[in-house]
Amino acid sequence: MSELLSRTHAVALDAADPLRTLRSEFVFPQHNHRDQTYFVGNSLGLQPRGARAAVQDVMDKWASLAVEGHFTGDTQWLRYHRLVSEQLARVVGALPSEVVAMNTLSVNLHLMMVSFYRPSRERPAILIEAGAFPTDRHAVESQIRFHSFDPATDLIEVQPDEPNGTISLQAIERAITEHGPRLALVLWPGVQYRSGQVFDLDAITRMARLQGARVGFDLAHSVGNISLQLHDIAPDFAVWCHYKYLNAGPGAVAGCFVHERHHRDTSLPRFAGWWGHEEATRFKMAPQFVPAVGAEGWQLSNPPVLGLAPLRAALDVVDKAGGIAALREKSLRLTGLLDALVRARLTGVLEILTPSEPDRRGCQLSLRVVGGRERGRSLFEYLQTVGVLGDWREPDVIRISPTPLYNRYQDLHHFVDEVDAWAGL
């Protein structure tokens, strides 16, 4: 075995890792009085230590100031959503005016489709990936029905065409070209949740816009994971959640992007609420809706301050790391090492389903256990008993997502050693 795949080398990589101190910014679940080896940042990121203080700060202000908290200090609640705009904009490569933290992902997806899915008889269809995350499929199917069109003909799903269930860019291009004149919207993920595949969002956006379709992204598995340049790639909208790689806590307030070119377009239909009204005249309480310029114009309600507080702490940790570029750099090495270790030591036990090209994957590797579902479940359960946490996706996939904020190179050895031990049992 190559020296590069030794535990000693991993320990040396950890010692030299410029992000190594960030691990202490997080609270780890304990297993036998030791930190769990946690590989589930793709599902629910760990708690940043600053989150509790951020929530406590709101609680204290509520206790001491009550309604005055809306207007008092740098963190006044009236503008609380804006406290995260600049940091969020950096995370997704957007202008601050293009992003807003509000609602949850599925809600934002519907709100965006109200504005950007405008089917006509000639152009009624939505194109998505086959095997999309259920909420995305439910959302598009129900929107198609809501407009009295028929999902049987107007929901187009691009089938995987590669051996491990991934989708080539050529297959996406063929589908967009074939259905082009009928496409009202192309909705695509940045990272596929099951396979871990990263898509070329720039190419997909260009193909879709060439056909006259609107483009939206679901970035649930992308934010905090891969580099995004939303302003330049220029989809019409994007939505994401903050509880996966961004560590803002269970059910955290989600994110939404609306490209600048739509900011002053008052002809776009939208479901309006008072918080989307322009700030200067909001409290005149007049009956006419005047939308705020920018993504904030799609807000409905006053900001859920307690829900937003942990997001501030989570984004501060990303800044401490030096931003997404620094995280991605470590992530490429971490996941690259996991890939190499699995190939060198676990052939015949685990198959890697995620693409092997570094630019076609993020943190996550999706691993199929050789021997079928029962063996897979047995391995998954064994790993839990030894303090290694991944997650399970039916029928036979274990997802392992080393995250650059708090995973170490030596964690990968813990995983591989334990799989090896289980296989020898």
Ligand X SMILES: *Cc1c(COP(=O)(O)O)cnc(C)c1O
Interface contacts to ligand X, rule CB under 6 A: 104-106, 133, 135-136, 189, 193, 218, 220-221, 241
Nearer CB in complex with ligand X: 106/407: 106
Beta carbons within 10 angstroms of residue 250's beta carbon: 9
Kindly state the smallest distance separating residue 223's Cβ from ligand X, in Å: 11
List Cα–Cα distances, 273 to 253, 277, 293, in angstroms.
Answer: 17, 7, 14
Kindly state the smallest distance separating residue 424's Cβ from ligand X, in Å: 35
DSSP letters of 111-153? HHHHHH----SSS-EEEEETT--HHHHHHHHHHHHHTT--HHH
Strands of 233-342 (E only): list them. Answer: 237-240, 255-258
Q: What is the C-alpha separation between 359 and 336, in angstroms, rounded?
A: 11
Give me 190's structure tokens.
């940045």
β-pairing, 365-369 vs 34-35, is unpaired
Kindly state the smallest distance separating residue 225's Cβ from ligand X, in Å: 11
Give me 126's structure tokens.
């939505």
Nearer CB in complex with ligand X: 6/142: 142
Kindly state the smallest distance separating residue 419's Cβ from ligand X, in Å: 25
Nearer CB in complex with ligand X: 195/349: 195
Nearer CB in complex with ligand X: 104/205: 104
Kindly state the smallest distance separating residue 212's Cβ from ligand X, in Å: 26
Cβ atoms of residues 276 and 301 within 8 Å: no
Kindly state the smallest distance separating residue 154's Cβ from ligand X, in Å: 21
Nearer CB in complex with ligand X: 349/365: 365
Counting every residue written for the chain, the total comes to: 425
Nearer CB in complex with ligand X: 189/404: 189
Strands of 16-79 (E only): list them. Answer: 26-27, 30-31, 34-35, 37-38, 47-48
Kindly state the smallest distance separating residue 16's Cβ from ligand X, in Å: 33
List Cα–Cα distances, 421 to 149, 184, 334, 345, 386, in angstroms.
Answer: 54, 52, 22, 11, 11
Nearer CB in complex with ligand X: 135/384: 135
